[in-house]
Amino acid sequence: MNWAKGFACLVVMAMFGGIVFNQEVGRDKRLDGKAPTSAAEGKPATHKVAKKPFKIERTMTGILTAEETAEISYRPYPTVQPPPSHGSLTIRKIVEHGAKVIQGDLLVAFDTTKIDEVLDNLAMEQKVLEASIKLAEEELPLAEKSAPAELAAAETAKKRADEELKYFLEVGRAQAVKSEEMYVKSSKFYLEYAQEELRQLQKMYKANDLTEETEQMILSRQKNHVESAQFYYQSALLERDYFLKYGLPNKEKALQENQVRQELQLEKARKTLGPTAIQKRTALAKSRSDHDKNLVRLGKLHKDRSAMTIHSPLDGIVYHGKFHQGKWTHSDALENKLIANGSVSPDEVILTVVKPRPVVVHLTIEEKDVHLLKPGMPGTAKVLFHPERKLVARVTKLSSVPASPGKFAAQVRLEIGADDADLMPGMACSVKFTPYSKQDAITVPTRCLHEEDDKHFVYVMASNGKQQKREVTPGRAGGDETEILAGLREEEEILVERPSSKTSEKEKGALQ
């Protein structure tokens, strides 16, 4: 009975040992699919060093684009007063999306009704300004020359007014009164003389034997003289009274008013003739300035007017929307505007003319891979449009500063033949590069490499079975493997994992 129990125990132990052995074998097969170098129980997993081909490959996605493009938009000249070309613009004609154009072909024409009206008004204003300037240029020299003469005339008129008033007050008024009195006196004397002569005639006719007819004729004539003399005498009295009551005071008042008026005219001439000339010069300068500004604005508006009919700056294909570095910005809302009578805004990119050849690939490179690429590096490109087609590619540009955080831009030129005419900017593309390749490189699994104090180490299994900590010089890393430039030889075995801290110093060995 005891023998049977012992045999059963042996069978169980054998089965358990087989399970443990199989688990160790499975664990050692994790490295490159190879069986472990030793199957001894408790021995750590190792990797046998060998030379083999080693290369680093990177496949990067990008977009086909063109080296030469031209964004099309209406860009009015900036002015202090926005012209009518600012604001929404109405499309009259526009080229279709995908159309092939040559340099000079019409791309888009906008409605010019508003700007034409403004141009007509400005042209009319320009003519008015030119006429005003010409008139002012003629008047200004005359005004400057006549100013001294006008001032002298005002001074003379003031002096004359003073003299006339003074003479009137001192001499003229009294003399005028005497003249009126003398006129009355003379009229009275003439009346008295006529009356006396009539009496003498009447007395004489009574004494003489003259015929009655002659007598009546002479008497009648003398009576008329008397009557006229009476009339003139009465008129002289009335004139004298009117002159003394109204004429003389009015003349004195008129002379006084004239003196005041001439004094004001002189003061005005002294104070305004100089500023008036300055004002005319300033007005002329302003008119010239307005003319020049108006001319500049007119020129800008003419350029705006010309820019509202846009022609293609190069040969290429028209894309509706913005096309930049292979990325095409397009929307249904924009497409709905790019029709006849549609409205767009100034400075809005509505079209892009893309020159399809030469075609290049725009790549966005992760920062960790930038060091792998260099200008001139060859590669192989594939397009999603035709995945089995392979194209020779070569790096032509590589940005030295990030295009965005963690991203760098690169440009790759493709060698395109006659069979590749269907490749167009905007298509997706991938480019495969092999930055590094070596046929007989010594490589180790990257997990076998350890770093301490900026130095790299591996643990080598010596021929005596001891573990040695050895410094190595790593090269490039690719995938899960790293090239070793110095410190290892073929056929050497290294530990896959760092020895545990329980391993004795004798088992670790000395640092080689």
CB-side neighbour CA atoms (13 Å) of 503: 16
Give the whole-angstrom CA distance, residue 467 versus residue 459: 6
The per-residue pLDDT for 210 is: 57
Q: Are 94 and 108 in contact (CB under 8 A)?
A: yes
What number of helices (H) and strands (E) belong to the chain?
7, 20
Give the whole-angstrom CA distance, residue 457 versus residue 495: 11
Question: Six-digit token pair at 376?
Answer: 């001139």
Give the whole-angstrom CA distance, residue 489 versus residue 77: 73
- Coil vs helix vs strand at 265: helix
CA distances from 474 to 51, 370, 450, 455 (A): 15, 20, 11, 10
The per-residue pLDDT for 466 is: 84
Q: Are 363 and 412 in contact (CB under 8 A)?
A: yes
The per-residue pLDDT for 329 is: 76
CA distances from 30 to 440, 443, 496 (A): 23, 17, 10
The per-residue pLDDT for 177 is: 92
Structural domains in the chain plus CATH codes = 116-305 (1.10.287)
The per-residue pLDDT for 512 is: 41
Select from 73, 101, 94, 98 the least CA-distant residue to 85: 73
pLDDT, one tens digit for every residue, the chain (512 residues): 343 444 444 433 444 344 333 333 333 434 444 444 444 456 788 888 989 999 888 898 888 888 888 999 888 776 545 555 567 889 999 999 989 999 999 999 999 998 899 899 999 999 999 999 999 999 889 888 888 999 899 999 999 999 999 999 999 999 999 999 999 999 999 999 988 988 888 888 776 655 577 777 888 888 898 999 999 999 999 999 999 999 999 999 999 999 999 999 999 989 988 888 889 899 999 999 999 999 988 888 888 889 899 999 999 999 998 877 767 777 777 888 888 889 988 888 989 999 888 888 989 899 988 888 999 999 999 998 888 888 999 999 999 899 889 999 999 998 888 778 888 888 889 999 999 989 999 999 999 999 888 899 999 988 787 888 999 999 988 878 999 999 898 888 899 888 876 554 444 444 44
Strand partners, 63: 362, 428
Give the whole-angstrom CA distance, residue 360 versus residue 328: 15
Q: Are 393 and 413 in contact (CB under 8 A)?
A: yes
Select from 368, 458, 332 the least CA-distant residue to 56: 368
The per-residue pLDDT for 42 is: 62
